[in-house]
A and B are shown apart, each in its own frame.
Chain A
Amino acid sequence: MRQPWLRQAGDANGAGAPPDDFSPRSATIPVRRAALALAAALLLLAAGRSEAILDAAYGLPVAPGTEAAIAAAEAWNGALGELGVPGAMRRLRGLLSTGR
């Protein structure tokens, strides 16, 4: 078992290709630690986007499971609302849209 970036993989586009993103110097970690990083990233993303998730849930077509999805999204957004996250995100969004 191997991954190609552990060797020089600069010939993927043929001779004279630009330097590759991958190299033997690329830092790697075991997949369990990568899963932890990915889970943390997705959790924070879900927290920062709780209002968008709720909007998306309200827009789901009527089907088995839709009610449960809406309830989960409402609970998630409600929990974050108690921490003031959606309000902070709205203020951040206003700040970052300055000059638009």
Chain B
Amino acid sequence: MLFPTGIFAIFLAVVFAVHWTLVRHAPGLVRHFLLCASLAFYAFWSATFCVALVVVGLFAWGIGLLAAQGRGTGWLRAGIAGALAWLFWFKYAGFAQREVASALALLGIDAPAALEVLLPVGVSFYVFQAISYMVDVHRGHADAARDPVDVLAYLTFFPHIAAGPIVRAAHFLPQLATPPDARRVPCAMALLLVAGGLFKKMVVANELATGAVDPVFRDPSAHGAADVLLAAYGYTVQIWCDFSGYSDMAIGVAALLGYHFPRNFDQPFRATSLAEFWRRWHVSLSSWLRDYLYVPLGGNRGGRLRTARNLLLTMVLGGIWHGANWTFLCWGALHGAALAAERLVPGLRTPPSSAAAAILRWAITFHVVVACFVLFRAPDLATAGAMAARLLDWATPAETSTIRLVLLAGLGIGLHFLPGDARLRIERLLAGLHPLALGALAGCAAVLVLAAAPEGVAPFIYFQF
């Protein structure tokens, strides 16, 4: 079930009505209802994987109970290993077998046919949240849940199950423990986030994908430099609009039900350094990697070279978290190397001294990000190489580059330079409206967005991760 569909609108209306009725009349059943609704939401993709999701949740709950009893770190290590083994099986087993088969083929040895493992939607997200639960309980940041329903409701909560944001156990479990206040629903903010997310996903991301990005990445050799450039910039804007649009909708839907998710994107393309970019991009993942991987590895303690190693390792693991492909590994390694270089090169850690220096740093940062996203989007390294090679071909006429697509890509970048509090200002204007007027505005905005969008609803990019 995708957010921008009629079936989800019906689902949300029913969940909204039942949830708030339970909050008022039977608050003890709210968590049970959220769990049932979330499992029903997930079952639209696969009932089998729904059972698997529950198994992971019960596993994390059990480890949490053992970790809370202070029995050393053995159970925690076992829990993390178990969760990562689950992730590895679904995401990397087929890849590993294919790579081994390729190596054996070079030696003239026949290997058995590669496994075709179906990837459950959101597996990377719920596994990371399961790890967050176990570690937070071990560290004492969250109380171990006595009732497995709490952990299951946390892991499966439908706004974030498919593609995040990754919500920490220490942040979400206390919200489940105390039912939300029915007198205080941040309705204007929620509807604004949902409508804005819908626009980013349906209009900008979907049109750039079908018009500028997919045709070029499918066959770079058929396109010239202008098309390749638009595809590279277009994909950078597409993935931001797709993913931040999903995050905005998730945050808005959760807010309508009275739950808080942290912000996941903060105008990332206005960053003037890679370090700043990662403080603004997919914040829930980058901060997860920082707190659960980079810091335990030693962080920036132990000298410059050790810091650089930790950065590189964290980003490579962050890259392959996205999937089993050399392109993701290279994407993470490039980001890690660039982050390490920023720390090692004198002068790059201080703020730019002039406007010209700030613009130069922004341009360099942005283009490193764009180049890395070409690797991220390419199905293999050969395609990424072909994209780079076609940048020299200015003789082939542009086929996909239309003014509309260029304007959409420009709009996606331009949105980053709006004042940081622009949404808050609009929210304040909307907050004074009568609820019927507010709803009518939101409905009209959604109708306009869907009228401007290409036909159909493409899946969100991060559903595959």
- Could you give, for residues 401-414 of chain B, a 1 whenever the CB lies within 8 Å of some chain A CB and a 0 otherwise? 01110000000000
A37 B191 Cβ-Cβ under 8 A = yes
Residues on B with C-beta less than 8 A from A31 are 20, 23, 182-183, 185
How many B residues have CB within 8 A of the partner chain? 68
Residues on A with C-beta less than 8 A from B452 are 93, 96-97
| B283 contacts chain A at the CB level, 8 A cutoff | yes
| B54 contacts chain A at the CB level, 8 A cutoff | no
Distance in Å: Cβ of A74 to nearest Cβ of chain B:
16
The residue of chain B having its C-beta at the shortest distance from the C-beta of A29 within the complex is B187
Distance in Å: Cβ of B204 to nearest Cβ of chain A:
13
A45 B16 Cβ-Cβ under 8 A = no
Residues on B with C-beta less than 8 A from A64 are none
**Distance A28 CA – B260 CA, assembled complex (angstroms):** 13
A30-B185, A44-B443 in contact; A22/B451 too (CB < 8 A)? no
| B424 contacts chain A at the CB level, 8 A cutoff | yes
B431 A27 Cβ-Cβ under 8 A = yes
B211 A100 Cβ-Cβ under 8 A = yes
| A4 contacts chain B at the CB level, 8 A cutoff | yes
Residues on A with C-beta less than 8 A from B188 are 27, 29
From A1, A18, A41, name the one whose CB has the most chain B CB atoms within 10 angstroms. Answer: A41
Q: Is the interface of B mostly helix, strand, loop or mixed?
A: helix
**Distance A1 CA – B258 CA, assembled complex (angstroms):** 11
Residues on B with C-beta less than 8 A from A79 are none
**Distance A3 CA – B172 CA, assembled complex (angstroms):** 11
B182 A30 Cβ-Cβ under 8 A = yes
How many A residues have CB within 8 A of the partner chain? 52
Residues on A with C-beta less than 8 A from B191 are 37-38, 41
Q: Name 20 extra pairs, CB < 8 A, besides A36-B436, A100-B207.
A: A4-B174, A4-B175, A4-B260, A5-B186, A12-B171, A19-B263, A22-B189, A26-B186, A27-B188, A31-B23, A34-B256, A35-B17, A38-B439, A39-B13, A42-B443, A43-B443, A48-B451, A49-B447, A49-B450, A92-B451
Chain A residues within CB distance 8 Å of chain B: 1-6, 9, 12-14, 16-23, 25-31, 33-45, 47-49, 52-53, 56, 89, 92-93, 96-100
A-B residue pairs in contact (CB < 8 Å), sample of 23? A1-B178, A1-B181, A9-B262, A17-B262, A18-B279, A21-B263, A22-B186, A26-B189, A28-B183, A29-B185, A29-B435, A33-B187, A37-B191, A37-B435, A42-B439, A45-B9, A47-B443, A89-B447, A92-B448, A93-B452, A99-B402, A99-B403, A99-B404
